[in-house]
Amino acid sequence: MKVFIPPIKCQGIKSKLTPWILETMQWERDGRWIEPFMGSGVVGFNVRPARAIFSDTNPHLINFYNALNSKKITPQIIREYLEHEGSILSVKGQEYYYEVRERFNASGTSLDFLFLNRCCFNGVIRFNRKGGFNVPFGHKPLRFSKAYVTKIVNQSAYVSRLFSQSDYQFLCQDFEKTLSSVDDGDFIYCDPPYVGRHTDYYNGWNDTEEGRLYRALSTTPTPFILSTWHGNEHRDNVYIDAFWSRFSIHTKAHHYHVGAREINRKPMLEALVCNYTLAKKAEQTSGAQQVAFDLLALA
């Protein structure tokens, strides 16, 4: 299938894994698509549900898509903005990138967020403890060529058309609040930061957060898919056994392209955790599950 790539990119984007995720999905589409960790939104935007809740704790992601949804920002506005800012970047180079970054950290405008996202190093979204965007320049002063601007505009036009035909909410809130609102017929897709790997999520992510998510998903009757990592050549994800082994787990090898050098872009075994077959499994407390309960008790 052809996968639509959204205008905002981020590390760990699931564009190449989207067909696999959609094949795993079992949903009658009579409720809402619930995505508590929106990130790029690539999976949900390719599902194209009629109704959806996209949430994230990163306000800049939510503000950008709310602006598109309300038509405060349009594809034409994006074209004019990127053409203007790109022309300045082509002359002033990284000096102007850092000027825009400083401006964004002071005002938080959605157009500046898009600009930084598309010309920073490897499209990484990262913030310091004070909430300031701190990704360095991507060393491409001529980044915003006519063709590249058109590509971003077309991506923005796609989601704008999708929004006009659908009922979507974009909410800046904690995942537990989003999951507490699920109803019959809904479907949950979770793509949290990968515990033990992604340490620069907007509000951080650690074993306590993973435990909170496990507890929330373990008690929901709503069908869900959780994206996580299973292992790589160096180590395994210990939380697969500690938390997620009671569910149905599907794996697939995958390469991410975040490292500066290709040699550093190692394959990873991705995992999709689903609760579709949970009722068919014996309710037994394994040693790994006991570790999970002990961790939850400490959370």
C-alpha 83/C-alpha 189 separation (Å) is: 36
Tell me what percent of the residues of the chain surpass a pLDDT of 90.
Answer: 76
% of residues, the chain, pLDDT over 70: 85
Confidence of residue 195 (pLDDT cuts 50, 70, 90): confident
243-278 tens-digit pLDDT: 999 999 999 997 765 444 444 456 789 999 999 863
Residue 298 has pLDDT above 60, yes or no: no
Q: Compute the average pLDDT of residues 8-13.
A: 89
Q: What is the pLDDT of residue 107?
A: 96
What are the structural domains of the chain? 19-57+173-298 (3.40.50.150), 75-161 (1.10.1020.10)
Of the listed ranges 8-12, 154-158, 188-192, 209-213, the one predicted with least confidence: 8-12
Are residues 268 and 255 in contact, defined by beta-carbon separation less than 8 angstroms? yes
pTM (two decimals): 0.86
**What pLDDT is attached to residue 200?**
52
pLDDT at 145 > cutoff 50: yes
